[in-house]
Structure 1
Amino acid sequence: MAATSQYLTLGLAGETFGISIRNVREILDMRPISRLPHAPNFLLGMIDVRGAGYPIVDLRTKLGLPAVAATEATRIIILDVPMNDRLVGVGFVADCVFEVTDIDEQAIEPIPEVGGKWQSDYAAGIGRKGEKFVVIFDLARLMAADGMTEGSAARLDASFAA
């Protein structure tokens, strides 16, 4: 029997991405985000969820896609992201969330080597759901890509708690 894992599938600029359900804490409707001065452009700010502060990352900006205004479908996905041997709570803004789906682990293919500077280091591989391709995020590499390190996340936590 093929080993399957569950992934939360989300939409971003018309493409489908997947995040292991093991990393997902909850999915929230879009809400006001408190801006942080001098934060990197992909870091929208912080939100409070039941007394805990979470940094919020715009996945579009993080992936080099054009920013768009939030819609009724926009969601914040609260995740446990592995950073330096611990899990850090981070929120990702996605255009929409589709479903939790099973993806066959054996069918996940490596990212194609096409040469050049294709930004693909954030992806663990490409899975399939029917005829659709699902780009599976490697959360640790995605967050390490632009300097969102454990130290900056800890400083955010500290500044939000103050």
Structure 2
Amino acid sequence: MMASTVEQRQSGAPPASEHSPSAVPSRICLLTLGGELFAIDLRHIREVFELESVTPVPGMPASLVGVANLRGTVVPLADLRPQLGLPAADVPKYAVVVRYGARQVGILVDEVPEIRTIHADDLLAASARGVTESRPFLSGLLKIEDRMSGMVEVSRLLASVEGAIH
């Protein structure tokens, strides 16, 4: 309880009681995949960890590259590069565990994410730019300084990964 209050003061974010969950400014986690920048709502991030090993599982869809053991919990790992049209890279060094309800998956990432506060005028609708057709789990675009970032919609991402399983 105390740590979140300290973090809010340091980040300049208002206390949670001063705004609704959908109000902006909001906190996001930036990550890099294949040289591109993506953002995920911080409320959906469970953990970031350094990959020690990936255990392949026979019969998994292409987007799921295997599983990792995270302190006794088996976490499925997804490589989003093929779905995003990005080139395959060396084995990523990090994974970001995202969750939505009881579902969770680890996303392989190139760089350790950065946490930022964003404002309403930083967001652009994905449909206006045609992003959702080629990248169905992106809900919009985010303007970060002089770069554009895809905003990942975690519920769509998990549905996409689960759809590949069935």
1:145 positional shift: 2.7
Q: Deviations over 1:92-113 (max 9, x none)?
A: 0011124101111343111154
Instruction: Return closer, same or farther for 1:33/1:7 CA change in 2, 3 Å cut-off.
Output: same
Instruction: Return closer, same or farther for 1:60/1:115 CA change in 2, 3 Å cut-off.
Output: closer
Alpha-carbon distance in structure 2 between the residues aligned to 1:43 and 1:4: 33
Alpha-carbon distance in structure 2 between the residues aligned to 1:60 and 1:106: 28
Is the 1:42–1:62 contact (alpha carbons within 8 Å) kept by the matching residues of 2? yes
- Long gaps (5+) in structure 1: 154-162
Larger helix share, 1 or 2: 2
1:140 positional shift: 1.5
What residue number does 2:6 align with? Answer: none
Aligned residues: 144
Is the 1:30–1:70 contact (alpha carbons within 8 Å) kept by the matching residues of 2? no
Alpha-carbon distance in structure 1 between the residues aligned to 2:67 and 2:104: 11
1:57 aligns with 2:72: no
Paired residue secondary structure (1:109): strand
Matched residue type, 1:14: G
Instruction: Return closer, same or farther for 1:117/1:129 CA change in 2, 3 Å cut-off.
Output: closer
1:67 positional shift: 1.5
Instruction: Return closer, same or farther for 1:140/1:53 CA change in 2, 3 Å cut-off.
Output: same
Task: Give the TM-score taking structure 1 as reference length.
Answer: 0.77
Is the 1:19–1:136 contact (alpha carbons within 8 Å) kept by the matching residues of 2? yes
Instruction: Return closer, same or farther for 1:109/1:37 CA change in 2, 3 Å cut-off.
Output: same
Aligned identity (percent) is: 26
1:113-124 mapped onto 2 (5 Å cutoff): 113=128, 118-124=133-139
- Long gaps (5+) in structure 2: 1-13, 15-22
Matched residue type, 1:48: N
Is the 1:103–1:128 contact (alpha carbons within 8 Å) kept by the matching residues of 2? no
RMSD over aligned CA atoms reads 2.6
Task: Give the TM-score taking structure 2 as reference length.
Answer: 0.75
Is the 2:97–2:107 contact (alpha carbons within 8 Å) kept by the matching residues of 1? yes
1:136 aligns with 2:151: yes
Matched residue type, 1:77: V
Q: Which runs of 4+ in 1 moved over 6 A?
A: none
1:78 aligns with 2:97: yes
**Residue 42 of structure 2 is aligned with which of 21, 26, 30?**
21
